[in-house]
Structure 1
Amino acid sequence: MAKKPHVFFIMTDELRADTLGFRGHSTVQTPHLDQFAKDCAVFTNAYTSCPMCAPARVSLATGRYGLSHGVLDNAFAPVEDEHSLYSTMSQHGYHTINYGKIHFNTPGTFGFEEHYPRGQFAGGEVGVFGVTNRELLKNSVYKKNEGEVSLVIHGVNPQKPGETADSLLTTAYVERLNDLKDSERPLFHRLSIIDPHTPYFPAEPYASMYDYREMRLPDTWKEDLSTKPLLHRYYYRARGFDRLTEEDYRRSLASYYGLITHVDDRVGQVLGRLKELGLYEDSIIVFTSDHGSMMGEHGFIEKWGILYEEVSRIPLLIKFPKSRHQGTYEAFAEIIDIMPTLLDAAGIDIPGGVQGQSLLPMLQGEPGAAKDEVFGHIFTGGLQREPALMIRKGAWKLTWYPGQEELHDRLMNDHYLKYTHMFLEDVVEGELYHLDQDPGETHNLFQDPAHAAVREALLQRLLAWRAGLGPLADLDDMQQARNTVNSYHLLQGDNLARMQTLMRAGGTIRQLGRAGAEKSR
């Protein structure tokens, strides 16, 4: 019986699909990924199931949508009967190892036999909210958005590039390959780095690699959001984006691009060592991200509350043994397809209940194997009573944001946006775009009478998809009681402590049960 192929899995965080050289980006330098892409199946229309860390990572692990596995936002744990790619691989003989971020919100490691967290190789001097070390802070220069979920949106990290947490983690991952190169067991060896996630705070030379004055801002950076869902307008103001300057957006772009090139250099370290050890040719190697990031589009930086292409599209590169199936594929792929694809490629049966599908039939040219639609959701428990949903079918894309009329009542009485004229504006229940004609998602057709038939057809398909998922995570009890964890960004004073507790998957993580799939609009 042939030995199963090794799998080397490289995961980034908040890396958008269009900021890579081989995808035609004219500014960002990604030479290692550009070269690697030549050996890969490159999926140019890959989508996350949710542009938020934990939901996306659990969807990747389970091959299931968030509405089913229950991790609707960063404050939820998977429903207890969920199983992962990593536990399935382990059960079939794979040695499953993780280096870096997992963020599954599970009590254990969700199937990894070994787990080495990022903090094991570096202290917590630099976190998503800024620099916690006072001495390092003295030499740091950065700006945070002045509002909720206040994160570093641009700056210069005074650390040396090899001293950052992700660099030390990558070095440890690469060094471990020396011990694993002769493994009798097939390997599932995963590197999960946080860059280019916030803080957008690269070390030199990456911090100066891209001149902010030369950054081209998207046309929509000062867009009028009056035709967008109310939740978009809320986050735009609440996160303080209305207080940012043109220079802030340009500096944010330059900082983000610097982080991407630093990621590329780390990927080069991994791929170079795999080749030196003779592990490259016959292995499966995956490069992807959990979701993307906004870089000024519609006035946003980072994510939260939106389903635009910039946060929904992800890079997905899979190198199969002997570089089979290399090429560029425009058919839709979803993050939930990664699990069944890897199991299929390893000769392991795909468990029942997996909602993704193996991409191998499509790669092999089987008729009808290519998807023509993808789905997603976004949810913030402190602000929404149920998730917003997204469907892309062909060139059409629809999002639906139910329950926004309740947003005002969910705000605390001292919230600066409560009792303001923002809540006199039209709610706008969703978005409708034809992406071939409007790739920037600027002209919302959701309320256009001329497109009512298209809107209704897509909405009915969206509801049919939801109903067909089977038992869903039960949100009924969320109607009566506010999810206090997800209100952390609405509270004052202890935001950092709450988020740190959340990221440790402590006692504040909520686990839902299941309910029937019958829902009414």
Structure 2
Amino acid sequence: MRTAATPNVLLVMTDQHRADFTRGAGFALDTMPFLDALAASGTRLRNAYTTAPACVPARTSLLTGRFPSAHRVRQNSAVREVVRGADLLDVLDDADYSLHFAGKTHMYRAKEDFDSFAGPYWHERGPDETDAQRDFSTWLRSIDHGPSLEPTPFPLECQYPYRIVSDAIAGLKKRDPDRPFFSWVSFPEPHNPYQAPEPYFSLFDEADVPDRACGPEAAEAKGGTYRWLRELLEEKRPGYDRLWRRYRATYCGMLRLIDDQIRRLVDFLDDEGLAHNTLVVFVADHGDYVGDYGLQRKGAGMPDVLMRIPFVVAGPGIVTRDNATDQVSLADLFPTLCEAIGRDIPFGVQGRSLWPMLTGGDYPAEEFASVYAERGFGGLPYDADARPPLHFAYEGTMYDELNSVTQSGTTRMLRQGRWKLLYDVTGRGELYDLAEDPAELHNRWADPAVRDVRADLTERLLWWSTRVVDDLPRAAYEPLRTTHNYATRWP
């Protein structure tokens, strides 16, 4: 039975949504005014990072609070290989929450795990029930992941964000009013195919799109998988980079479309008298190049445009704060929600609770001075000159950016302050000063002027690598656990 203090939870998630493309995050165009207003009413976490720049590994981290090396889902095709203890849905179910889902899945949980479920929606198809919906999905497949050069010839009501919000509202209307609810609304957008109907297609003119940080010359200069992916794209779609402004303008239009649907969803909660007692969390699974490096989607490397994600929390008890200091992870969301609903953090969770941070409590600054992430399927990296077996034919226009070349090997990442460090399985290191070099073009790993910085970050990466050693399975002995899952004893 719920009490007056038991909050509802609305989790809104986007796919392939980079953090810096709203005015509130410093972007020149006003792409998501409602999300920015929501952030201004609560806490915006500006230095939030995904655990991995791929959908399923990241979403598995959201559900389990564990990093890919622990939950073992390191590629999108490994969704059922998860290693975990109690996850987010287990904790919510044990707390007698009604569980609702609408949208893109890409996770190990299924329809039967929810009280209401609408989906799965993918990037080119949904649970189509009308001729118009089926025609829309056929059209999406026809543009071969875009970007479309014309407005989408279907109305807003055919777009997946509109339909997903409609489904989410329908599910909540059937909820048990005597139980708190958890509603996970998962948009496939702004992931490719890049398309939008009017007025969103024309809302942001190509001429008004801000210049990108770097173009194809940066992929060539960085070399390795960046150059390989750039060459693959050019082979598949010659001259594709000429459309980068159209690509960005459409991406911005897709963000506004999503924003309007988030507003519609929150307005429903307000109209139902539910908004005052609902925690609203907005996150993405990972980012998108959106033309930087002359690339689209994701795939090569761990640049901030892929790793940094939007992370906003608003609602009862959340302080108003624009937090540009603390480094947080997508893995931190699950333990945070545990504390928000008054439940213990399960054994095996590696993320840290942000609840003290979000509610104005005390917490150790050192705990959030750095953040960690992983990428790669394993093994050794393929030589960039090789043509190994891929999940698509080399001929034709189709390609998968998360392929045997771009994802081979293992890399671990650390962000601390202005610095970012990468270290891979071959012993190759990268070190970037993000304050001076936000596009990560100048590798200072071998620069003697920053030897002490490299040593400090390497030691911190070793600390993180030790910290994410998996504690599961739990056996006879009782490990010492810390408050909020911090690595330091607190208070």
5 Å-filtered alignment, 1:40-79, equals 40-77=42-79, 78-79=81-82
Are positions 1:296 and 2:298 aligned together? Answer: no
1:178-222 CA-partner distances (Å, limit 9, x unpaired):
333x61111001111111111111122211112223323313113
| Further displaced range: 77-86 or 25-34 | 77-86
Deviation at 1:403, TM superposition (A): 4.2
| Further displaced range: 366-375 or 12-21 | 366-375
Are positions 1:399 and 2:422 aligned together? Answer: yes
Residue aligning to 2:410? 387
Q: Letter of the aligned partner of 1:333 in structure 2?
A: V
Q: Report the secondary structure of 2:275's partner residue.
A: coil
Maintained 8 Å contact 2:10/2:279: yes
| Further displaced range: 431-440 or 184-193 | 431-440
Q: Distance in 2 between matches of 1:244 and 1:46?
A: 34
Q: Distance in 1 between matches of 2:229 and 2:368?
A: 32
TM-score normalised by L of structure 1: 0.76
Structure 1 counterpart of 2:39, from 25, 37, 45: 37
Q: Letter of the aligned partner of 2:158 in structure 1?
A: E
Deviation at 1:455, TM superposition (A): 2.9
1:228-250 CA-partner distances (Å, limit 9, x unpaired):
25122222222338943553111
After superposition, the Cα gap between the structure-2 partners of 1:314 and 1:53, relative to the gap in structure 1 and judged at 3 Å, is: same
1:336-360 CA-partner distances (Å, limit 9, x unpaired):
1111111101111111111111112
Aligned residues: 433
Q: Distance in 1 between matches of 2:274 and 2:128?
A: 25
Maintained 8 Å contact 1:88/1:111: no
After superposition, the Cα gap between the structure-2 partners of 1:238 and 1:446, relative to the gap in structure 1 and judged at 3 Å, is: farther
Q: Letter of the aligned partner of 1:448 in structure 2?
A: D
Q: Distance in 1 between matches of 2:357 and 2:41?
A: 18
Deviation at 1:453, TM superposition (A): 4.2
Are positions 1:445 and 2:441 aligned together? Answer: no
Residue aligning to 1:479? none
Q: Report the secondary structure of 2:167's partner residue.
A: helix
Once superposed, which parts of structure 1, at least 4 consecutive aligned residues long, lie more than 6 Å away? 123-127
Are positions 1:179 and 2:202 aligned together? Answer: no
1:349-374 CA-partner distances (Å, limit 9, x unpaired):
11111111111222324141550111
Q: Report the secondary structure of 1:172's partner residue.
A: helix
User: Structure 2 regions of 5+ residues with no counterpart?
Assistant: 379-403, 473-491
Maintained 8 Å contact 1:131/1:137: yes
Maintained 8 Å contact 1:212/1:250: yes
Q: Letter of the aligned partner of 1:94 in structure 2?
A: Y
1:98-145 CA-partner distances (Å, limit 9, x unpaired):
111121145x45953432213235689999xx9762xx479x7x5x5x
Maintained 8 Å contact 1:228/1:431: no
Q: Distance in 1 between matches of 2:130 and 2:347?
A: 41
Deviation at 1:157, TM superposition (A): 2.0
Residue aligning to 2:213? 219
Q: Distance in 2 between matches of 1:375 and 1:298?
A: 23
After superposition, the Cα gap between the structure-2 partners of 1:9 and 1:376, relative to the gap in structure 1 and judged at 3 Å, is: same
Q: Report the secondary structure of 1:239's partner residue.
A: helix
Q: Distance in 1 between matches of 2:146 and 2:429?
A: 30
Q: Report the secondary structure of 1:152's partner residue.
A: coil
User: Structure 1 regions of 5+ residues with no counterpart?
Assistant: 145-150, 405-428, 474-521
TM-score normalised by L of structure 2: 0.81
1:371-422 CA-partner distances (Å, limit 9, x unpaired):
0111112224633553211111121101123349xxxxxxxxxxxxxxxxxx
Are positions 1:85 and 2:88 aligned together? Answer: yes
Residue aligning to 2:461? 462
Q: Letter of the aligned partner of 1:208 in structure 2?
A: S
After superposition, the Cα gap between the structure-2 partners of 1:79 and 1:123, relative to the gap in structure 1 and judged at 3 Å, is: farther
Q: Distance in 1 between matches of 2:22 and 2:278?
A: 23
Are positions 1:320 and 2:322 aligned together? Answer: no
Residue aligning to 2:386? none
